[in-house]
């Protein structure tokens, strides 16, 4: 924390000078991480280059395409246009955090079963957006799914299988809750 300049009035201030001028404490997929970083580093640069979590991709760099979506405190954000410094004190979840001990989770299996991916480049973003949606609305209508995912682009599938996969994941979760085999 030596590089953090805390003024007498208690305002935390990270100077621009120095490549690793700001220290953050966060959790990424449940793992505690403390790092010194450049204030201008974006979250996706931090994830891919510092933590080597390369599941998160970047495409447009304009918050439009959704490819770089990760969750910060359960909210979906465009990690291409989000300062890594802003995850200080917050919890990050990426696509790497979905599978448990090498086993795909229900949403991921639903994507595979519905053929909801082809090249797969947009898939981490869709998975994280769908995760955020299902956590706020466990049984979304098709219209809700389309609205919520309308900021994510896929140039292969035509979207229909992706919507079906999210519906399937919701049904699978409901079935699991009811004690039926998924």
Considering the rule CB under 8 A, would residue 9 count as an interface residue with other proteins? yes
Identify which range of 17-25, 26-34, 110-118, 156-164 contacts other proteins by CB under 8 A: 17-25
Considering the rule CB under 8 A, would residue 130 count as an interface residue with other proteins? no
CA dihedral 20, 33, 61, 94 (to 10 degrees): 170
Residue 77 or 164: the one with the smaller Cβ distance to other proteins is 77
Site for other proteins in 144-163 (CB under 8 A): 148, 150-152
85: Cβ–Cβ under 8 A, 6 or more apart, which residues? 14, 22, 24, 37, 39, 41
DSSP label at residue 62: S
Site for other proteins in 46-85 (CB under 8 A): 61-64, 66, 69, 75-78, 81-83, 85
**Least spacing, CB of residue 149 vs other proteins, in Å:** 8
Query: What is each CA distance from 137 to 19, 133, 170, 174, in whole angstroms?
Result: 41, 6, 9, 12
> How many residues of this chain bind other proteins (CB under 8 A)?
36
142 phi and psi angles, rounded to 5 deg: -60, -40
Compute the distance between CA of residue 72 and CA of residue 124 in angstroms, rounded to an integer. 15
Binding site for other proteins (CB under 8 A): 9-17, 21-22, 39-40, 42, 61-64, 66, 69, 75-78, 81-83, 85-86, 129, 132-133, 148, 150-152
């Amino acid at each position: 924390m030596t590089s953090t300049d805390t003024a007498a009035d208690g305002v935390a201030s990270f100077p621009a000078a120095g490549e690793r001028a700001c220290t953050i404490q966060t959790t990424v997929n449940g793992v505690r991480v403390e790092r010194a970083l450049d204030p201008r580093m974006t979250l996706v640069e931090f994830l891919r280059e510092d933590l080597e979590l390369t599941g998160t991709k970047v495409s447009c760099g304009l918050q439009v395409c959704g490819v770089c979506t990760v969750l910060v405190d359960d909210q979906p954000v465009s990690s291409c246009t989000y300062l890594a410094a802003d995850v200080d004190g917050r919890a990050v979840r990426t696509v790497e955090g979905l599978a448990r001990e090498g086993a795909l989770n229900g949403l991921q299996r639903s994507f595979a079963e519905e053929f909801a991916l082809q090249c797969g480049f947009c898939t981490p973003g869709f998975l994280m957006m769908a995760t955020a949606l299902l956590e706020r609305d466990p049984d979304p209508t098709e219209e809700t799914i389309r609205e919520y995912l309308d900021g994510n682009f896929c140039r292969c599938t035509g979207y229909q299988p992706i919507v079906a996969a999210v519906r399937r994941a919701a049904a699978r979760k409901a079935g699991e809750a009811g004690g039926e085999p998924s």
